[in-house]
Structure 1
Amino acid sequence: MNWIEFSRTFRCITICLTIYVICGSSCSKYLDKKSDNSLAIPKTLQDFQSLLDYAVRMNFSEPILGEIAADNYYLLANDFQSLNVSYRDNYIWKNVAEWDANWVSPYTAISTSNLVLDNLEKVKNGDKLLFNSIKGSALFFRGHLHFNVVQDYAKAYDNSTASEDIGIVLKLTADINDPSKRVSLKECYLQIIEDLKNAASLLPFTTSISTRPTKAAAFAELARVYLCMSDFVQSGLYADSCLQIRDELIDYNTLDGSTKYPIASFNEETIFFATSLGAPPLKPPTCIVDSTLYQSYSNNDLRKHLFFGDNGNNTYSFRGNYAGTTNGGSSVCFTGIATDEIYLIRAECYARNNDTKRALIDINTLLRKRWLQNTFIDFDLDDSEKVLMVILNERRKELIFRNRRWSDLKRLNKVSKFAITLERKFENDTYSLPPNDLRYELLIPNSVISISGIEQNKR
């Protein structure tokens, strides 16, 4: 298949996959008459690699509604009113079910992964290492994207209720006749873990293209998954496995804070590069960093100067985007995986398992790279609870606008000492989101519900 034929085939596959994602089996009758082009499935390993390398779909359209609903920022009344009703309602946690892209985009990419997995075995006599890398990549994307959807549309994981709690739709085949149905939260997590473990066994240790997953990325994603399950032993082990391969940290003293966007994309901390869908509420300077959060950074903490730009009215916008200078002023967030997050995961797991010594080594290692040279004084504590609080506070500051906060709120709200109520205020109006509220499970788009017939989240 030459490139022109492949491109034509890819466009046709894209249309079919998008219809499949939205409709499920209920749309199969409209696809009975297939064109000749729709039958032209990629045939070579290079064809399948090209499908997974289509970063606009696989890497650059990750869900973002959780970040819009989180407490990293606030909007002024005029900016709030200028948004369309879906964004406004999401910002104040009203019952909104209109933003299709947050659901459809990850499932379209999942369907691309399934297309690869369903047909890859048909390739004969290909390079074995490339075959394994492609299969591992498809499994990684499927697990990674299912996990993203779970964070927005399902409850926080609770081992005592996960078998009964409703999860999301698991798509494990590209078959257009496969019905869409929601399965238990436990089944979702087990499938995500299975995909990521299988991916880790197949993926290479390194890649020259950061949008392609590696063994380190699979280990890191497993660390994320187990952290959300409160399995701090497994999470810590996978974080450690990742850091055995990739442990680089940027010394923020080497960055030029005078530039508009001081942190480059594809930097040395990036393990796996991905970005979110764009979202107008998150675009600077409309998106104003929460003042209490901004003030929590010490003056010698270089993040205070590198992450934020002065709006000139005693408010600040975020500019420390790991998506880099091209996206620094946009509404796109870095949603990939970087080593700083994995240090924080391992440190948290050490603290929760009462290994304060190693927890402090990790958090001090990170912060030495974040503070003005020779100003940071290592934390020296022997109380695991105090160490944990330090780590959680630093996680809050380090991972701002990385699309991790919504997930963190959900898991931490299960423990009363960490639980918080979110508030949005506009003159005479106050909106609140209590811990463990049903609204932490975002509503599935109405269009998906009406066509597929799957169960909507409760209100």
Structure 2
Amino acid sequence: MKRYLSILTVLFFLLTLGACKKSYLDTTPSDQIDAAKIFDNINNVKVALNGIYRATYMQYSDQEQDGHPAMMIVLDFMGEDIVHTATGTVYFRGAYRWTDHRSELNDLPYFSYRLYYRIIANANILLEGIDRVPDATEAQKNVIKGECLALRGWAHFMLVQLFGMRYDKTTLSDVSSQNTTSARVQLGVPVVTKYSLDPQPRNTVEEVYIQVNKDLDQAITLLEGAPPRGLYRTHIDKSVAQGIKARVALTQQNWTDAAYYAQEALKGYQLMSSTAYLDGFSDMKNSEWMWGAHQLPEQLPAYGSFFAYMSSNFNSSHTRPNPKKISISLYNSLTNTDIRRKLFCDNINDYINFPGVIDASTGQPVTGQTRALYMQKKFVVADPAVSAGDIPYMRVAEMYLIAAEAKAKLGLLNEAADIIDVLAKNRDPNYTRPDNISDIANDNNGLIMMQRRIELWGEGFRFLDLKRLKLSLDRSGTGSTATLANVGVNTPISADNVRWQFLIPRREIQANPYMVQNPL
């Protein structure tokens, strides 16, 4: 990992040396900070921590590399619920066609690998230095430690899901016996808990999850009693750490913990109103947003950003010829009274409700834009001249869905249905629970999974859901074409196919003598 960690050091210094610039921060600092003085006082440490959060959504080497939001796009494009209308630009095309992640020379493995390891390395730097800050109280140190541990756990979790085999909760003897056919002892990613330039080998999938859970458990304890975050929930608090823990438990099929932590995480939040649901998913002051990126217009790169690719109204070379649609079969599962149905076009001539991309100079729909049935307006920027908006990393609705899925897998079907009732009735006032809920936990098209797919559409979950649930990628009946989608339309990609794993990038293989690739 030497090549990556040397880059990480540079990034950390950039985020602190440039801390007087708004473009690197979630808030506006008052002073410039010398990198050598980060640990001189608690305010300097807070600015550096802001820089780590900024690193979750800053642009790296290319316009399709806008941090974790770019990975959100990748992971949904690799599923079946987002459908492309036309070829569009080259950006994210390889993800949609399932080619980019299977080349060790490609930018996608390299970008995703270094993105999350940069976050880990910078979190480690703060964890190792926070105790020597002279003016920091124990409570202030605990908050910094808690946030950094949660970030480190989250980043390792993202990496092992991408580059490792799916977690398979089989027998407890798998690890001790080193049964190499078990996904739990297959190679995952290196666990990095100290800042170091020394290369490290890949840990097993099981070992990575052990460290992830250790970090999150510590974070939850340390963030107890932390000051409230206010309207802009860009930092991790206890509820977000619990939400990440719930995600991890769900992936590990630890149903009891998944249900518990999801229900703990959602306390104190409210589901949004139907009116708010149509506001464009670009403002984190929404009542049910738990964690996200607060992107300011001056932070935007020259090209790119999440909303330049995913918004329905920003006029870019990516959105104008290729509006994103919802799967036809998923759309047809929605009732006419479900507010979520209004996010998707049922009449291409309806320019009032679905204006599409907007000419910022006139405020009118752009002529010549591609329009299509089922095109979305879930993601809308407030100013069509600027592709800036808040980006959702975690919402309360997800916690309801995690709790319901976990309860159902435990056989507590009525409890699961009770949880789904709350979310479903909020989205559809005419929702009624099915008389027969025996199939509620079906991973393919059960009630919970269908609610999850429509609720989290476009927020970066579908590929990971398919992988953790050991489902095939099946794009038949979605409106996808073999020409555009390349895979999964005529012949599903089976759950056992090796292509569910990202390849370790060649640059890491060459720089790290201990690094080995999974079988191709």
Query: Residue 250 of structure 1 corresponds to which residue in structure 2?
Result: 272
Is the alpha carbon distance of 1:384 and 1:405 closer, same or farther for their aligned partners in structure 2, counting shifts above 3 Å? Answer: same
2:257 counterpart residue number: 234
For residues 16 and 283 of structure 2, the distance between their equivalents in structure 1, rounded to whole angstroms, comes to 36
- Relative to 1, partners in 2 of residues 1:92 and 1:329: Cα closer, same or farther, differing over 3 Å? farther
Q: Over the residues paired in the alignment, what is the CA RMSD in angstroms?
A: 3.3
Structure 2: how far apart are the matches of 1:10 and 1:127?
29
Alpha-carbon offset, residue 56 of structure 1: 2.1
* Structure 2 counterpart of 1:102, one-letter code: S
Letter in 1 for 2:373: T
Q: Which runs of 5+ in 1 are unaligned?
A: 1-8, 18-36
Partner of 2:96: 91
| CA deviation vs aligned residue, 1:400-452 (integer Å, no higher than 9, x gap) | 11111111101122xxxx54534663459952322231111112333333223
Asked whether the equivalents of residues 249 and 340 of structure 1 are also in contact (C-alpha less than 8 Å), the reply is: yes
1:77-156 aligned within 5 A = 77-79=86-88, 82-83=89-90, 87-94=92-99, 95-97=102-104, 98-99=106-107, 100-156=110-166
Deviation per CA, 1:73-122: give whole Å up to 9, x if none: 2334532xx415xx433322223331232221221121110110011111
1:180 shift after superposition: 3.1
Q: Tell whether 2:381 aligns with 1:376.
A: no
1:171 aligns with 2:192: yes
Structure 2: distance between partners of 1:353 and 1:405: 22
Contact 2:37 2:44 in 1 (8 A): no
Distance in 2, matches of 1:74 and 1:332, equals 23
Match of 1:56 among 50, 54, 60: 54
Structure 2, unmatched stretches of 5+, are 1-8, 18-33, 59-66, 171-181, 296-303, 311-317, 346-352, 357-369
1:362 corresponds in structure 2 to 419
Higher deviation after alignment, 362-371 or 287-296: 287-296
CA distance in 2, matches of 1:328, 1:384: 46
TM-score after normalising by structure 2? 0.71
Structure 1 contact 281–331 (Cα < 8 Å) conserved? no
**2:239 is equivalent to residue 216 of structure 1:** yes
Judged with a 3 Å threshold, the aligned counterparts in structure 2 of structure 1 residues 451 and 319 are, in CA distance, closer, same or farther, namely: farther
Tell me the distance in 2 between the aligned counterparts of 1:73 and 1:194: 35
From the superposition, tell whether residues 146 and 121 of structure 1 become closer, same or farther in structure 2 (CA, over 3 Å).
Answer: same
Question: Is contact 1:219–1:238 with CA below 8 Å preserved after alignment?
Answer: yes
Task: Output the TM-score relative to the length of structure 1.
Answer: 0.80
Pair 1:458–1:249, CA change in 2 (3 A): same
> In structure 2, do the counterparts of structure 1 residues 334 and 154 end up closer, same or farther at CA, with 3 Å as the change threshold?
farther
Is the aligned partner of 1:198 residue 2:218? Answer: yes
Deviations 1:277-310 (A, max 9, x none): 9477755452333222222222211011136674
Larger helix proportion, structure 1 or 2?
A: 1
Output the CA distance in 2 between the equivalents of 1:333 and 1:294. 25
Could you say which residue in structure 1 is the equivalent of 2:468? 411
1:421 has 2:443 as partner: no
> In 2, Cα distance between the equivalents of 1:340 and 1:256?
12
Equivalent positions of 1:343-358 (< 5 A) are 343-358=400-415
SS in 1 for 2:156: helix
Q: Counterparts of 2:390 and 2:293 in 1: how far apart (Å)?
A: 9
- Number of residue-to-residue matches in the alignment: 416
Match runs of 1:16-31 below 5 Å? none
Q: Give the whole-Å Cα distance in 2 for the aligned partners of 1:16 and 1:47.
A: 8
Pair 231,390 (structure 1): closer, same or farther in 2 beyond 3 Å: same
Distance 1:275 1:407, change over 3 A: farther
CA contact (8 A) 2:236 2:291 kept: yes
Displacement of 1:341 after TM fit? 0.2
Rounded Cα–Cα distance in structure 2 between residues aligned with 1:457 and 1:333: 37
Q: Given that residues 246 and 271 in structure 1 are in contact (C-alpha distance below 8 angstroms), is that contact kept between their aligned partners in structure 2?
A: no
**1:210-266, Cα deviation, whole Å (9 max, x unpaired):** 0111111111111100100111111111112213x33410121x3384x6x366333
Distance 1:38 1:181 in 2: 30
Moved more, 290-299 or 230-239: 290-299
Equivalent residue, structure 1, for 2:31:
none
Deviations 1:165-209 (A, max 9, x none): 11112221122x332321100010010010011000011463224
Distance (Å, rounded) in 2 between the aligned partners of 1:409 and 1:332: 28
358-367 or 326-335, which moves further after superposition? Answer: 326-335
